[in-house]
Amino acid sequence: MFRISLDQASLSEEQKRTLHEMWLRCMRRIIVSTTLAGSGHPGGSMSSLHLLLMLYSTISHAPGDPCWDGRDRLVVSMGHVSPGVYSVLSEFGYIEEEDFLAGFRRAGSAFAGHVESCVPGVEWNTGVLGQGLSAGAGMALALKLQEKRNRVFVLMGDGEQQKGQISEARRFAAKYGLNNMACLIDRNHLQIGGSTNAVMPQDVRADYAAAHWNVVYIEDGHDFEQVFQALRKVYLCEAGDPRFPSAIIARTVMGKGVSFMENKAKYHGSVLSESDAAKALDELGLDNPIAGFKQKRAVSPKAEKCLSRDLVYPAQIETGEPRTYGPGVSTDNRSAYGAALEDLARLNNSGKVPKIVGFTCDLEGSVKMEGLRKVSDNAFFECGIQEHHTATASGAISREGFAVFFSTFGVFGVTEVFNQMRLNDINATNLKLVCTHLGLDVGEDGQTHQCIDYISLLRNLFGFSIFMPADPNQTDRIVRYIAERPGNFFVGMGRSKLAPILDESGNPAFGGDYRFSPGRADWLRQGADAAVIACGAPVHEAVKAADDLAKIHGVKPAVLNFASVRPLDGESIARAAGTGLIVTVEDHHADTGLGSMVAGALAENGRPCRLVRLGVKKYGFSATPAELYSAEGIDREGIVRAVLQARAG
């Protein structure tokens, strides 16, 4: 494999010649792939090509073992330059050129329009601009914690610099001294809408310098020697203050190498016609393989060898003995979460490298992460009011061998950062997103803080389990359960103090030997006259309502706690339908949460049953949770009323 050491003072003539030949072959691939596909992004692929080639020539990597532990990480944040990335990966032997050219942007092929990590050599799926620097920061933090010497590089566009998340990532990387990372910016001064200055003026160099990054500017990002010298400067810690990360800003030209494409914003996302592609290839002195490949593309793409990544997760997480909160104890779920997290940190973070890692955004006390911080300060990251960055960075580090908890309020950890969570999910992260202050249970902070869309949003993410513990005992057990498992988990809770839920004999329903089991509802009360299905804080109201209905009205409903919202317990729903009446209760938008899931399950299974869905039907007031629950009819009285009315017809 072609490799250049950053210890050498400058590039040899032979290396320059080789690099030029590589560049020509990659230019051919970029032109041919995009013209064959009839879509794609040739302009940025060409402007960043010298940067990519020099990166792959100098970083530590092993094409035969793309997930090699000792590799440097390269995140291509501007995922639209996939033709350039795949071209360079062909050059370095990660993939076969022919598979890429025949399969680019086709169903069944791994070579998607924006880079995906099923292609060997691609570290992180991107395409949603502005998230790559955060992902790189998460990886760099992981390497620091593990005391590894590998480095992280992030390639970004200059239009992309307009995203606010990048400022968040810059500050985070500086705060935590991530001098093992560097970014490279393809400064071609163009984006889709034209000049970057006209679209949104920005002083990229000043922005990085102001955040304490070392800035290296390259006058000509198409001069391999200049790119090499910039990387060398960073490598030798000569770029500035060695405690901080570095930014290499390279002046480049959109469409570089084809005279009639250069400096034209149009070629950001327009491809050459076949005749223009022929002209471009001719200008570069290259052969034209388009006709031959057209035939190859007439048949279905070969099933691509997709990279299956080894799961990197702590081999063994000690979960300890669950805590039981007895009948007399009243505490909030978030305190039970904090106590369980502290236990986990105590049990797992005494070695050189912590296993349990926590992130929050200026809400440490409210989300009860103080215990984790006190036990292992090195594993707790205060990220400031920078939720977008934190969502991505915590996702990225969760793929590097840590059990990662990100906690904030629901409106900030779900609603605010939905797209970051979506990209995490696409990247198969192992994040434990534990959100507090859900729903009307937030109370007087009012409607901006009352998150009522957590289920509806998270249901869209195929990989997220959704757990809503009913009380402190169940919270404790769910937190221990998720700690030892890879995958994405959401655990949601309100704000109020809750007494432990008691079973029909008066014992804590989720204390002692109870073990949480996803996809299994808890039948808290048995009854044949109706079934009340609830999750989260309203479970308490449902239990009280059932007791009232039995005592006062002689109606005996079953009560089911759906702590596992996803996976959903379809069997229990079918059984509950046997009562003829299901009432769902949730502190969530009434149309889009648990009730809608139950409705779907009933319809799909053809179960005839009356269904009443109680939930939030408007943005809430600034009032006590009790007042708010009463206003929406999701309190004890509201549930009693709903059951009696539905039974009366």
Ligand X SMILES: Cc1ncc(C[n+]2csc(CCOP(=O)(O)OP(=O)(O)O)c2C)c(N)n1
Residue that the structure tokens 């991505």 belong to: 392
With CB under 6 A as the contact rule, the residue among 83, 127, 245, 527 that binds ligand X is 127
499, 471 contact by CB (below 8 A): yes
- The 166-195 contact track toward ligand X, x by CB under 6 A, reads --------------------x-x-xxx---
Q: How would you write 7-61 as a 3-class SS string?
A: CCCCCCHHHHHHHHHHHHHHHHHHHHHHHHHCCCCHHHHHHCHHHHHHHHHHCCC
Where in 190-209 is the site for ligand X (CB under 6 A)? Answer: 190-192
- Binder among 4, 128, 356, 581 for ligand X (CB under 6 A): 128
Hey, which residues between 245 and 274 contact ligand X (CB under 6 A)? Answer: 268
Is residue 502 classed as helix, strand or coil in its secondary structure? strand
Angstrom distance (rounded) from CA 365 to CA 493: 15
DSSP 439: S
**Contacts with 367 (C-beta within 8 Å, 6 or more apart), sequence order:** 334, 337, 338, 360, 407, 408, 409, 434, 436
User: For residue 428, what are its two tokens?
Assistant: 């198969």
Residue 389 CB, nearest distance to ligand X (Å)? 14
Q: What one-letter code names the amino acid at 139?
A: M
Instruction: Give the Cα separation of 398 and 413 in Å (integer).
Output: 16
Q: Which of 32, 46, 129, 455 binds ligand X (CB under 6 A)?
A: 129
Query: Which CB atom, from 128 or from 466, has the smaller least distance to ligand X?
Result: 128
How near is the Cβ of 252 to ligand X at its closest, in Å? 8
Residue 51 or 142: the one with the smaller Cβ distance to ligand X is 51
**Omega prior to 567 cis, within 30 of 0:** yes
Per-residue x/- mask for ligand X, residues 601 to 620, rule CB under 6 A?
--------------------
Q: Minimum distance from CB of 309 to ligand X (Å)?
A: 24
Q: Quick one: which segment of 41-49, 207-215, 226-234, 318-326 binds ligand X (CB under 6 A)? A: 41-49
- Rule CB under 6 A: say whether 416 interacts with ligand X: no
**CB of 161: closest distance to ligand X in angstroms?**
7
Q: Assess 130 for contact with ligand X (CB under 6 A).
A: yes
Task: Return the number of the residue (186 or 587) whose C-beta is nearest ligand X.
Answer: 186
Q: Which of 377, 334, 340 is nearest to 357 (CA)?
A: 377
Rounded to a whole number of angstroms, the minimum distance from the CB of residue 451 to ligand X is: 23
- Residue 393: name the closest of 157, 168, 208 by CA: 168
Burial class from Cβ neighbours inside 10 Å (0-12, 13-18, 19+) for residue 12 reads exposed
Taking CB under 6 A as the binding criterion, the range among 156-164, 317-325, 383-391, 409-417 that sits at the site for ligand X is 156-164
- What residues have CB less than 8 Å from 622, skipping those under 6 apart? 443, 444, 445, 446, 447
Residue nearest to ligand X (CB): 157
Q: Choose, by CB under 6 A, the member of 11, 26, 37, 44 that binds ligand X.
A: 44
| DSSP 8-state class, residue 162 | G
Residue 143 backbone phi and psi in degrees, to 5: -65, -35
| Pairing assessment for the beta strands 464-467 and 403-409 based on DSSP bridges | unpaired
Q: Distance between CA 336 and CA 338 in Å, rounded?
A: 5
Other beta carbons within 10 Å of 3: 12
CB of 44 to ligand X, least distance (A): 2
Residue 270 or 630: the one with the smaller Cβ distance to ligand X is 270
Closest approach, Cβ 126 to ligand X, in A, equals 9
Which stretch in 39-47, 93-101, 103-111, 331-339 sits in contact with ligand X by CB under 6 A? 39-47
- Which residue, 117 or 475, is less far from ligand X as judged by CB? 117
Minimum Å gap between C-beta 37 and ligand X is 17
* CB burial readout 439-457, b (16+ within 10 A) else e: bbbbbeeeeebbbbbbbbb
C-alpha 5: how far from its chain's center?
A: 34
Q: Is 221 in the site for ligand X (CB under 6 A)?
A: no
Nearest-approach distance from CB 175 to ligand X, in angstroms: 24
| Piece of the chain touching ligand X by CB under 6 A; list 125-133, 281-289, 444-452, 469-477 | 125-133
- Total residues contacting ligand X (rule CB under 6 A)? 19
Pick between residue 255 and residue 557 the one whose CB is nearest to ligand X.
Answer: 255
Calpha distance 610→612 (Å, rounded):
7
- Footprint on residues 80-109 left by ligand X (CB under 6 A): 80
> For residue 509, which of 542, 466, 485 has the smallest C-alpha distance?
542
Min dist. Cβ of residue 45 to ligand X (A):
8
Indicate which single residue of 158, 343, 529, 635 sits in contact with ligand X (rule: CB under 6 A).
158
CB 114 to ligand X: min, Å: 8
Among 26, 75, 78, 122, binds ligand X (CB under 6 A): 78
Q: Minimum CB separation from ligand X for residue 81, in Å? A: 6
Q: Residue 83 or 401: which CB sits closer to ligand X? A: 83
- Minimum distance from residue 508 beta carbon to ligand X (Å): 47
Q: Which positions touch ligand X (CB under 6 A)?
A: 43-44, 47, 78, 80, 127-130, 157-160, 186, 188, 190-192, 268
